Chains A and B, each alone.
Chain A
Amino acid sequence: MLRRGERVWLNAAVALVYAFLLAPIVIVVLAALNAGAYLRFPPEGLSLRWFVAFAQSRSFTRSLAFSLKLAATATVLSTVLGTMASLWLVRFGGRLRTTLRILLTAPLAVPGILTGIALLIFFYALGWGKTGFGGLVIGHTLICIPYVFLITSAVLVRFDQSLEEAARNLGASPFATFRRVTLPLIKGGVISGAIFAFVTSYDEFNISLLLSGVGNTPLPIQLFDYLRFSFDPTAAVAGTISIAMAVVVVLLTQRLVGLESLYMGGG
């Protein structure tokens, strides 16, 4: 039990942490609602005019759409690849397990800009200079795989394989076993991994900076280019949209996998 004095200090500390985490978000949102012409805080009156400006800017809407398409593609690819990798590694990795785990999660440890440079050099070496969407998908998938891999592995390690044996024993083919037993039980991990992958891809800056080209500009790069020349609240609007998306994603996770996956033991 905490004594009264201690509780006061604890509450204060928690409040400070939350303030520290949430303040930037509040500032971005308020800046987006600024009625004035410049990106600044506190706002000079409230208005939605910069939201309208964002929606009317072709370069912003196009890069938003591009970012969403890119993130969706990278999410699908990295979820499939990361899940397959963790299934194999957890079950059959043997002596290679540790080495392969380090290799698969390396993109987390290597600075993104280095991964980007490496990919750029690699693509040029292949004579595949103007990679556009394809190159970005490869780069994003690469950095998304570790999230899917790690989360799915954590779930798989706890998975009771006698459940799969029971399914086979009852007449299920390996594929039917995966579809009817394994996947439903690990889906919490797979969905969490996919959501992480999506957010990671949507936010990715370093690799996008090096691999994007004309007409292939993800939103973060567009934002960066824009801020170099103009300093108006449109940038804050882009940030606010990202924040709103993150909130939706968090709520979705809660809804899809939150409590249920805790219950299911395996998932």
Chain B
Amino acid sequence: MASLRLQGLTKRFGDVVAVHELTLEVPSGELVALLGPSGCGKTTTLRMVAGFDVPTRGRIVLGDRDITADPPERRDCGMVFQHYALFPHLTVEQNVAFGLEMRGLRRPDVERRVGEILERVGLGGLGRRYPRQLSGGQQQRTALARALVISPRVLLLDEPLANLDAKLREEMRFYIRSLQREFHITTLYVTHDQAEALVLADRVAVLMNGRLQQVGAPEEIYHRPRTPAVAAFIGLTNLLPGRVTGRSGERLVLETPAGTVRAAGAPDLREGMEAMLSVRPEHIELDRPGEPASRDGVNRLRGVVQERTFLGSLIDFRVDVGGGVLLRVQGRGGAPQRVGEQVSVSFDTTAAWALPRREG
């Protein structure tokens, strides 16, 4: 198994910079999700790794070999395409055997390995079918089998679940994860679906406008986003503008339009800096008003319920906390608060995250 390193990878299409100075490492055996909105350059990055697009600048190193200039057939990357790209004129077996035949394996070896992998992905007995005779999930498994059977040094997945219905998608997430662990294969997984990235990845790399925003473990990306853009893209969050006015122990003190808030913050935030405060709706609690100023470790604001939306297991509130700020709050299913009611809004100082306000 080998690690995959992208070094200063840049791709221009005419005047458009699709990927800008991307440096990223996928350690051996890990699954890194390249996450971003459509058009952020993630698919272009994957295509450069596979050898279908030529980088304008930068290097791609697989293990100890620089593969930047190699043609696709000599890169030893297994790829699963968004629409699977199964050969329609070949059966499942022939599709899976294709890569082995291209490697010049002898017939009995090809048959044995194809049989093994088809059993492994649960397609034993469907080998004689044509791709059009398979369901979406089965096509997906065929594509995975075809990519894995050649024992590639790195597995590339391009939005592999985008064409499945919601339920199957959920199932396949865990399936791909367990397969990847079992084969212990270095994997670069491109997706625009943050839930998918958080569930699947050892590390998540967030790409926006062709620039890498942040790389980190899923928890880190979720709880400690480094830019407002990342905070807004991953999950739901409330973003409040503010200014750092001081420190109180471990916490920063911020002045926001809704009042003074204490929060954890990025280490590079200094007093007097403009900041953005991110508070996730699920971290906010609603109470009857009455309990006064903030206790230690808890921020408390007063507000009025503006909207209440029933979502089944949750209730989605919008609470006006003054200063023109509407906070989104997710309460448990039985939350009693009504529209127009005075409430107290509280959240832990550790659940509030301050980050520098800059464009990104």
Q: Does A57 contact B (CB under 8 A)?
A: no
**Is there contact, CB below 8 Å, between B50 and A169?**
yes
Does residue A163 face the partner (Cβ distance < 8 Å to B)?
yes
The reply to whether B99 and A162 contact each other, CB–CB distance below 8 Å, is no
Stretch at the interface among B20-28, B33-41, B85-93, B160-168: B85-93
If A166-B85, A181-B87 touch, whether A172 touches B102 (CB-CB below 8 Å) is: yes
Contact (Cβ within 8 A) A165 B85: yes
Chain A 133-167: CB-based contact to B (< 8 A → 1; otherwise 0): 00000000000000000000000000010110111
Q: Pick the contact of A165 from B72, B74, B86, B132 — CB < 8 Å?
A: B72
Say whether B310 faces chain A, with CB atoms less than 8 Å apart: no
Chain A residue contacts of B85, Cβ below 8 A: 160, 162-163, 165-166
Once the chains bind, are B52 and A167 in contact (CB under 8 Å)? no
Taking CB atoms, residues of chain A closer than 8 Å to B51 are: 168-169
Flag if B102 contacts A166 (CB, 8 Å): no
Dominant SS among interface residues on chain A: helix
Q: Which of B75-83, B255-263, B281-289, B311-319 contacts A (4 or more CB under 8 A)?
A: B75-83
| Contacts known (A162-B83, A176-B102, A180-B98); A169 close to B89, Cβ less than 8 A | no
Report A-chain residues with C-beta under 8 Å of the C-beta of B98: 167, 170, 172, 180
* A167 cross-chain contacts in B, Cβ below 8 A: 87, 98
A53-87, CB under 8 A of B: which get 1 and which 0?
00000000000000000000000000000000000
CA distance A172 to B75 in the complex (A): 11
List residues of chain A with CB within 8 A of the CB of B79: 165-166, 169
A254 located at the interface, meaning its Cβ lies under 8 Å from any Cβ of chain B in the complex: no
Q: Could you tell me the distance in whole angstroms from the C-beta of B150 to the nearest C-beta in chain A? A: 6
Is B103 an interface residue when CB atoms closer than 8 A count as contact? Answer: yes
- Evaluate contact between B89 and A184: CB separation under 8 angstroms: yes
| A-chain residues with CB within 8 Å of residue B132 when the two chains form the complex | 263
Q: 17 interchain pairs (CB within 8 A)?
A: A160-B85, A163-B88, A165-B52, A168-B51, A168-B52, A168-B73, A169-B50, A169-B72, A170-B73, A170-B99, A170-B146, A171-B73, A171-B150, A172-B98, A181-B87, A184-B89, A267-B89
A168-B73, A267-B89 known; 9 new pairs, CB 8 Å cut-off, are: A165-B72, A165-B79, A165-B81, A165-B85, A166-B85, A171-B99, A173-B73, A180-B98, A181-B87
Residues of B whose CB lies within 8 Å of any CB of A are 50-52, 71-75, 77-79, 81, 83, 85-89, 98-99, 102-103, 132, 146-147, 150
- For the complex of A and B, 4 pairs with smallest distance between CB atoms: A170-B99, A171-B102, A166-B85, A168-B72
